[in-house]
Amino acid sequence: MAMKHHFIKKIKIYPLKKDVHLQWKLEVDVFLCLPGKEDSHMSIKKLIVYICSPYAGDIKANVENARRYCRFAADSGYIPMAPHLLFPQFLDDTNPKERELGLEFGKAIIEKCSEVWVFGKHISSGMEAEINLAKQNNYRLRYFTDKCQEV
Beta bridge partners of residue 26, listed in sequence order:
13
How many whole angstroms separate alpha carbon 2 and alpha carbon 131? 45
43 pLDDT higher than 70: no
Task: Provide the residue type at 65 as one letter.
Answer: N
User: Burial, 55: exposed, middle or buried (Cβ in 10 Å; 0-12, 13-18, 19+)?
Assistant: buried
Q: What are phi and psi of 133, to 5 degrees?
A: -60, -45
Q: Is residue 151 a contact partner of residue 143, using CB atoms and an 8 Å limit? A: yes
Going from the N-terminus, what domains does the chain have, and what CATH number goes with each? 7-144 (3.40.50)
DSSP E strand boundaries for 53-106: 79-81
Task: Provide the residue type at 25 as one letter.
Answer: K
21 pLDDT higher than 80: no
| H/E run at residue 133 | helix 125-136
**Residue 46 binned pLDDT confidence (cut-offs 50, 70, 90):** confident
pLDDT tens for each residue of 48-74: 999 999 998 899 999 999 999 999 999
